[in-house]
Amino acid sequence: MKTILITGGAGFIGSHVVRLFVNKYPDYKIVNLDKLTYAGNLNNLKDIENKPNYEFVKGDIVDGDFIHKLFEEKQFDGVIHLAAESHVDRSISNPTEFVFTNVIGTVNLLNGAKNIWKDNFSDKRFYHISTDEVYGSLGEEGMFTEETSYDPHSPYSASKASSDHFVRAYLDTFGLPAVISNCSNNYGSFQFPEKLIPLFIHNIKNNKPLPVYGKGENVRDWLWVVDHARAIDVIFHRGKIGETYNIGGFNEWANIDLIKLMCREMDKKLGRPDGESEKLITYVKDRAGHDLRYAIDASKIKRELGWEPSLQFEEGIEKTIDWYLENTEWLENVTSGDYKKYYEEQYVKR
């Protein structure tokens, strides 16, 4: 039985990855290590928490001693590293936290793997999950490829770029068998409602203003989170050591067009007159250093590993809106902070 560490498995993307691996690979022991910050929520994993091949460990990747002991104890065969501070706006108000978790946390995990694997790397793999934001901002033309130079602009993307560099440095210096992927914006179920799509669904439903940064002209490339989890599965098992893979949806939307689409869909679903929800759109001060456009060229992963997105965006966004409208309890728990109690009840009091 292989033991695989997934970090950040209680977060948005991590919970989809944990679910996929626990269900698809009963012969793997999946250890989900998560600090349970405001973004980590064990309610995201209720459907698999009692499976015999799943274990949750609460812990902080910034704590080097703890990580050292955890690797010694569990002797992981592979690592899929998603834990991060992930919200650009929070990185503007508190950059230092991003250096601790995203940079130092990543280096601690690299040290943990290097320490237990020594020079015996056969069948071992350290997979680091990164973002397209490390490449900076595009103008109206072009796409990010795996060869695009790094040019991060926010403290978040700078910290992710730094962590990517450390992973490559451990590969080049110590031969650590590492692979990296850089993905575009994800959407789907279980996303913390401070990010655009779940925040706006919540606000439209509750007739609250929709704060559009600047003129809403910024473009993002949206990918269904389940397709990202599928790509992670493919890269973890078949990606070549030392390689980078870009993952994206070939699905660019200017924020304002996406927001208007969501408003129209929600008018229909909530039985409101056409155009009613659009009235909630409120243009606010732009995000500092706001990147204009991201677009991923995901042809390498398609060509080499046969992965491509499975879901059209129009269908995906409708599914996503339905999920947030149906899962009111999840959303209320998250917005009220009640989800924090779940860990206490589930793991501390037992």
Instruction: Name the residues that contact ligand DAU, by CB under 6 A.
Output: 86-88, 131-133, 184-185, 195-196, 199, 211-213, 218, 220, 255, 287, 294
- Sole binder of ligand NAD in the list 32, 56, 105, 221 (CB under 6 A): 105
Catalytic residue among 156, 170, 294, 343: 156
133 is a catalytic site residue: yes
Instruction: Judge whether 156 counts as a catalytic residue.
Output: yes
Count of residues that interact with ligand NAD, criterion CB under 6 A: 30
Distance, C-alpha 5 to centroid of its chain: 16
Interface with ligand NAD (CB under 6 A), residue from 101, 106, 148, 255 = 101
- Least separation in angstroms between residue 90's CB and ligand NAD is 9
34/86 Cα distance (integer angstroms)? 14
Active site residue 294: no
Given the complex with ligand NAD, which of 189 and 277 has the nearer CB atom?
Answer: 189
Q: Which is nearer to ligand DAU, 34 or 74 (CB)?
A: 34
Of positions 30, 31, 48, 83, contacts ligand NAD by CB under 6 A: 83
Answer yes or no: are the C-beta atoms of 292 and 216 closer than 8 Å. Answer: no
Our finding on whether 60 is near ligand NAD (CB under 6 A) is yes
Distance set, CA 7 to CA 14, 220, 277, 326 (Å): 7, 26, 38, 28
| Site string (23-42) toward ligand NAD, x via CB under 6 A | -----------xxxx-xx--
Two tokens at 200? 């706006």
Q: Is 231 in the site for ligand NAD (CB under 6 A)?
A: no
Answer with the entry of ligand NAD, ligand DAU, none that 255 interacts with (C-beta below 5 to 8 A by kind): ligand DAU
Q: Return residues touching ligand NAD (CB under 6 A).
A: 7-8, 10-14, 34-37, 39-40, 60-62, 82-86, 101, 105, 129, 131, 160, 183, 185-186, 192
